[in-house]
Amino acid sequence: MGVAAEGAVESVVVVHNVAKRHNVGTLARSAAAFGVSEVVVVGRRDFNSFGSHGSTSHLRFRHLSSLPLARRYLKEERDYDICGVEIVDGAMPVTDHPFRKSTAFLLGNEGTGLSERECEICDFFVYIPQYGGGTASLNVTVAASIVLHHFGVWAGFPERVREGNKFVVAEKPSKQARRNYCAESIEAIVEERKHRKENARMDIFEENGSNESQVTSALEAMFVG
């Protein structure tokens, strides 16, 4: 039985600076399997859903253009803890379930791990203990699966109904956003543009994030659609 009351907490996956874009698809599959409420994509809006096996249709995606905006959304609007999955000083083994409440999980780049800027927005860190000496680390999607499973156990998420040798897949939503793209409301895009202008001189936005023309195009596309 989980420590948290059933239904009282949620988990979120934060995707930023993932080197292999197709890993977002496999991350989405794990997120759907382990009860993740939302996938927050930071930087680029587009992603490759290869490997998701249709699971992206069952997830809510949100785009934010920078790490500071992601932190503000998760901390101020959602009151989540932000957990970095990385071997750093002070990191706790995920097997200890060091969770307190709804948590957003930020995973590092496949090659370099979490950057200094990514670490700065985290409240605490967990790592996955290894027992064999054949590899130095795990693939980002494997690491995500292990961490999300442990959070689900701690939170007491109810197990999905099984049928035969597989779990029952829910019906797909009748309305779906553009495939492989994080759609946002017009209000969210306008707010994003506002913050870009306010913080342009502070270099607060990611270099690989959506630029002004991308935001404008997205806004125009939503009006046209």
Domain segments of the chain as ranges: 1-133+148-225
Mean pLDDT of 141-152: 96
Whole-number pLDDT of residue 137: 87
CA-wise closest residue to 72 among 139, 11, 14, 19:
14
| Residue range 164-222, pLDDT digits in tens | 998 888 777 645 444 444 555 444 555 556 655 655 554 444 444 444 444 444 434 43
pTM of the model: 0.75
Mean pLDDT of 37-64: 72
How many other C-beta atoms lie within 10 A of the C-beta of residue 149?
A: 16
Q: Using alpha carbons only, what angle is made at residue 176 by residues 173 and 180, rounded to the nearest 5 degrees?
A: 130
Kindly provide the residue ranges of all beta strands, DSSP E only, lying in 131-196, ordered along the sequence.
Answer: 162-163, 166-167
Q: Using alpha carbons only, what angle is made at residue 148 by residues 144 and 153, rounded to the nearest 5 degrees?
A: 155
| Residue range 14-40, pLDDT digits in tens | 988 665 556 677 888 889 899 999 999
* Mean predicted lDDT score pLDDT of the chain: 77
pLDDT at residue 92 above 50?
Answer: yes
More confident residue, 157 or 43: 157
C-alpha distances in Å from residue 153, one per residue of 35, 44, 95, 98: 11, 32, 10, 12
Handedness of CA 208, 69, 74, 35 (dihedral sign): negative
* Architecture in CATH of 1-133+148-225: 3-Layer(aba) Sandwich (3.40)
Mean pLDDT of 121-125: 98
Q: What is the CA radius of gyration of the chain?
A: 18
CA-wise closest residue to 70 among 80, 60, 85:
80
In this structure, of 5-9, 121-125, 210-214, the range with the lowest mean pLDDT score is 210-214
Whole-number pLDDT of residue 36: 94
Whole-number pLDDT of residue 129: 97
Cβ–Cβ under 8 Å, residues 39 and 60: yes
